[in-house]
Amino acid sequence: MRRVRPAAPTSGEVERLDPRFDRLVARDATLEKIADGFAWVEGPVWDRRRAALISSDIPNNSVYKWDEGNGTSLLLEPSGYSGAAPFAGREPGAHGCCNRQLRMG
Query: Which pTM was predicted?
Result: 0.70
pLDDT band at 74; cut points 50, 70, 90: very high
Question: What b-and-e string marks burial along 38-57, b requiring 16 or more CB atoms within 10 Å of the CB?
Answer: beebebbeebeeeebbbbbb
Residues 25-34 have a mean pLDDT of 83
Query: Average pLDDT for residues 53-70, to the nearest whole number?
Result: 91
CA 26 – CA 65 distance, rounded (Å): 24
* Pair type for strands 41-47 and 52-57: antiparallel
One-letter amino acid at 37 equals G
When pLDDT is cut at 50, 70 and 90, the band that residue 2 belongs to is low
Whether residue 73 is predicted with pLDDT greater than 80 in this model: the reply is: yes
State the Cα–Cα distance between residues 53 and 16, nearest whole angstrom.
23
Of residues 11 and 104, which shows the higher confidence score? 11
